[in-house]
Structure 1
Amino acid sequence: MRSFHLHLVSDATGETVTSVTRACMVQFEGVHAVQHNWWLVRSQGQVERVIAGIEANPGIVLCTLVDTAVRGILEEACRRMHVPCIPVLDPVLGALAGYLGAEMHATPGRQYVLDAEYFARIDAMQFTLNHDDGQLLEDVEDADIVVIGVSRTSKTPTCMYLANRGYKCANYPLVPGVPLPAELEGLRRPLVVGLTKDPKSLSDIRRARLRFLNHDEESDYAQFEKVREEVASARRLFSRHGWPVVDVTRRSIEEASATIIQLHGQHIAKIEGAKTEAARPEGVK
C-alpha cells in the first residue's frame, strides 16, 4: 500500500474539498492518503500554521480558499517547497464568471449563510426526527416524502440524508400481519416511496443484527423464507398503491436518495400539471 500526505485546506467547514477528495481517491487502488485537515483558514496567522504543517509532512495540497491574499501566501509557500497546490474551485468559478459576465464575491463560507434556505433545512431535519419509525402519523400529509419498507431497508438513514437536503420526510416500517395505517392510505401531497432489498441480503443483515443483540438468529425475523415472503408482500402493497420502488440492495444511501429526489421532482411536476389543468377554463386547450 503506497502512502502519501494529503493536505486539505478550506476557509469554511471543509465539506466541499473533502467531497472532491473522496470522489477522486476512490479511483485509485493500493494508495492510502494520510489526510491533514485545515479548516476555517481565513487569516495570515492561520495559513502560516498550515504551511508549518505542510513543511513537517510534505504532500499534495487541495484548497478551497476564496480570499486571494490568503491563498497567495499558501501558493507561494507550496512553490517554495515544490509541492502541488490545487485550488479545486477555480475551474468552475472561472467558467461561471466568464459565462455570466459577473464578478465573483470572494466571501469565505458564503454557502453557509443563515438564510431562509438554511432554516428550512433545519425544520426539515426536525420534522424527520419527529416522524421517524411511524411516529406522529396524524400530520404525515405535511411531509415532502414518505418512505415505507420492511425492517432493515435503510429507511431512517435515507430520510435523514434527504432531510439534510431540505426535504421533510417520514418513514413507516412494514410489519407482517399489521395493516397499513389509514393515514398512509390516502396521501396526496407527499411522494410515497417503497424501499426494498434482496431477501438473501436482508436475511443476512437481520441475522447479524440479532447476533449483535444476542437474540435467536433463526427467528422468523431473519429466516430466509419468511423474509422473502415479507419482501414480496411489501412489493404487492407498493404496486397496489402505485408507489415507486427503490431497490437499495447495491445502492449507497446517497445513491438511493438521489433516485428519490428525482422521483420527487417528477411527483411535484405532476401535481403542478394537474393544478394547471384544473384551473384552465372549460373548452380551452
Structure 2
Amino acid sequence: MTGVTDAARPSESYYHLHLVSDSTGETLISVGRAAAAQYNVKPIEHIYPLVRTHKQLDKVIQAIDEYPGIVLYTLTEPELRNRLKTYCQENGVPVLSVLAPVVRLFQAYLGGVPEPRVGGQHQLDGDYFRRIDAMNFTVMHDDGQHVDGLEGADVVLLGISRSSKTPTSIYLANRGIKTANIPLVPGLPVPSGLSELKRPLIVGLLASAERVVEIRRNRLLGLNAAQSVDAYTDRQSVAEEIAFSRRLCAKNGWPMIDVTRRSIEETAAAIIGLLQEHRRKLSESSGA
C-alpha cells in the first residue's frame, strides 16, 4: 500500500473512521474504539453494517471518497473484500481487515481452510438462548424485585443508589450471566436469607461519596426535581450509606468493587473473574 494522501490525513482535532461489516459491526466497533482510545484525536465514526451487495458497497466507497480516513472491515465475500481493499490502496486510504490476522493464526494452528460464515458469531444456538434467558432473569430481578428467586442467580449485586448496579447487571446478562441487584437503602433491612445464599456470587459495588453525590444531583436535574440538600445528595449522609455497605459486605465476607473510576465493562470484567473463582470453589466443595 502506498503512503496516505493529504485528504486521508487527520485534522488537528478529528479524523474519519469507517467501519465496514457484512454483519452487525459489533466486532469492528469494539476494536476501532479500543484503538482510537489510545489517541487524543477523536474519530468521527461511519458505521456500515450488513454490507452484502455491490450496491451497498457503492455507498460505502462514495462515503470514503467524500470523507477519507481509516477503513476497518470484516467482509466475508471475496469480491466485496477485494474491491474495497483495492479502492483504498489505489487512493492512499489506510485499510485493514480486522479478522484476517486472527484467522491466519487459527489456520496456522488448526490447519485446513476456514469456511467463512457471515455473522457466524450470531447464531441461534444454545449460547444465544442462554443470553436471552439471562436477560429476562436480570430484568425481572432488577432493583430488588422478586428476591424470593435469588438462589437462581449467578451474581447478586448490592449497592446504594447510583452505584451502577443496573447497567452492570444488564452488561453481565448480555454475557449470559443471570444477575440480580439489590439496593441498600438507609433504614431498610436487606432481604432475609441473603447471607444464606449458596449458588450466587454476591458482590458489593462502592463509589466515592463525591462521585455518588455528583451522579445523584445530575439524576435529579434530569428528572427536573428540585435540588434540595437532603439526605439523598448530602455528602455526609452518602458517606454513611457507603460505610454501611462496607460493613455489611465485610461482615458477610462478600467481595467489594470500587466503581468510582471504572467503566461498566471494567466492573463487569472484575465480577466475571470473581465468578470464575467462586464457581471453582463451589465445584471443589461439591466434589469433596
TM-score by length of 1: 0.92
Relative distance call for 1:208 and 1:61 in structure 2 (3 A) is closer
Which has the higher mean CA deviation after the structures are superposed, 204-213 or 124-133?
204-213
Q: 2:283 corresponds to which residue?
A: 272
Identity %: 47
Aligned residue for 1:166, secondary structure, equals coil
Matched, 1:48 2:58: yes
Matched, 1:233 2:259: no
Q: Report the Cα distance in structure 2 between the residues aligned to 1:217 and 1:248, rounded to whole angstroms.
A: 26
2:272 corresponds to which letter in structure 1? Answer: I
Q: 1:260 corresponds to which residue?
A: 271
Structure 2: 5+ residue stretches without partners: 1-11
Relative distance call for 1:76 and 1:169 in structure 2 (3 A) is same
RMSD: 1.4
Preserved CA contact (<8 Å) 1:9 1:37: yes
Q: Offset at 1:50?
A: 1.8
Aligned residue for 1:182, secondary structure, equals coil
2:25 corresponds to which letter in structure 1? Answer: G
Preserved CA contact (<8 Å) 1:200 1:224: yes
Q: Deviations over 1:79-122 (max 9, x none)?
A: 22221221011111111110121321111111001111101101
Question: Equivalences for 1:140-155 in 2 at 5 Å?
Answer: 140-155=150-165
Q: Deviations over 1:118-172 (max 9, x none)?
A: 0110111111001000001111110110001111101000000000111011000
Question: Equivalences for 1:1-285 in 2 at 5 Å?
Answer: 1-29=12-40, 31-213=41-223, 214-277=225-288
Relative distance call for 1:245 and 1:102 in structure 2 (3 A) is farther
Relative distance call for 1:56 and 1:211 in structure 2 (3 A) is closer
Preserved CA contact (<8 Å) 1:42 1:108: no
2:100 corresponds to which letter in structure 1? Answer: D
Q: Offset at 1:58?
A: 2.6
Preserved CA contact (<8 Å) 1:195 1:247: yes
Aligned residue for 2:283, secondary structure, equals helix
Structure 1: 5+ residue stretches without partners: 278-285
Q: Report the Cα distance in structure 2 between the residues aligned to 1:138 and 1:37, rounded to whole angstroms.
A: 43
1:222 corresponds to which letter in structure 2? Answer: T
1:194 corresponds to which letter in structure 2? Answer: G
Q: Report the Cα distance in structure 1 between the residues aligned to 2:213 and 2:50, rounded to whole angstroms.
A: 45
Q: Offset at 1:216?
A: 4.0
Which has the higher mean CA deviation after the structures are superposed, 55-64 or 184-193?
55-64
Q: Report the Cα distance in structure 2 between the residues aligned to 1:2 and 1:176, rounded to whole angstroms.
A: 47
Q: Offset at 1:212?
A: 3.8
Q: Offset at 1:61?
A: 1.1
Q: Offset at 1:52?
A: 2.4
Q: Report the Cα distance in structure 2 between the residues aligned to 1:70 and 1:184, rounded to whole angstroms.
A: 55
Q: Report the Cα distance in structure 1 between the residues aligned to 2:151 and 2:179, rounded to whole angstroms.
A: 10
Q: Report the Cα distance in structure 2 between the residues aligned to 1:65 and 1:119, rounded to whole angstroms.
A: 26
Q: Deviations over 1:232-279 (max 9, x none)?
A: 1111100111100011011111100100000000000000000111xx
Q: Offset at 1:35?
A: 2.2
Preserved CA contact (<8 Å) 1:207 1:218: no
Q: Report the Cα distance in structure 1 between the residues aligned to 2:205 and 2:121, rounded to whole angstroms.
A: 32
Q: Report the Cα distance in structure 2 between the residues aligned to 1:77 and 1:185, rounded to whole angstroms.
A: 62
Aligned residue for 2:121, secondary structure, equals helix
